[in-house]
Amino acid sequence: MVQTYQGSSQKLYYPKRTPQQTVGLVLIVLGAILLFAYGFGLVILIPGILLWYYGREKCPYCKARGKLSPSRTDLVSQERGFGIVTRTDVVTGRVGNQQRRNTVQRQERVPVVRTTTRVAYRCSACQRSVGSKDYYTQQEDFSPPQQQTIVQREIQREVTERVLITCAHCGNRYPQGTPRCANCGASL
């Protein structure tokens, strides 16, 4: 079973390769092949090396190329939530005399953990911090659900029993200790 996760596909801890570096690497490989096969690959190999070297990131302080390296990694946040996962199942079976093999893709909503990691970079030439970059990953959460803690408080109340007195003249009821009836004015 193959699982595909939505999320960042960047590798952690290293700066991303620039487009100039990619073109330079392609030219280096092509130039090396032509150099060994036909002997004239230097025409392509030299520009490839130059593009690769000058395409590398440089330090903003000392201008040194290719000296940036990760110095510190911090876990910024970790959030639990739900995400979509695409699963690929391979189904094999027999239809008549023929063996059949099919792939079925399906999407599921599953619990995931979204992690944000901050990587700080430092120049190894001048030893200065040159900044940081946040990387995001999303992985399926296989951990058991967290149990909620239930806080129980015992509330004690003192219940006082109230005695009601009925007025002999009008029938209204009042708490014990009331001197006069509010309706007819008779003393209780």
**Alpha-carbon distance 88 to 77, whole Å?**
30
**Alpha-carbon distance 139 to 8, whole Å?**
10
| Whole-number Cα distances in Å, 162 to 119, 169, 182 | 70, 22, 19
Mean pLDDT in residue range 130-140: 87
Does residue 65 have a pLDDT over 80? yes
Residue 111 DSSP symbol: E
The pLDDT score that the predictor gives to residue 169 is 83
Cα 38–chain centre separation: 51
Pick the more confident residue, 145 or 40.
40
Which of 13-22, 30-39, 155-164 is least confident? 155-164
Q: Which amino acid is at 101?
A: R
The pLDDT score that the predictor gives to residue 14 is 53
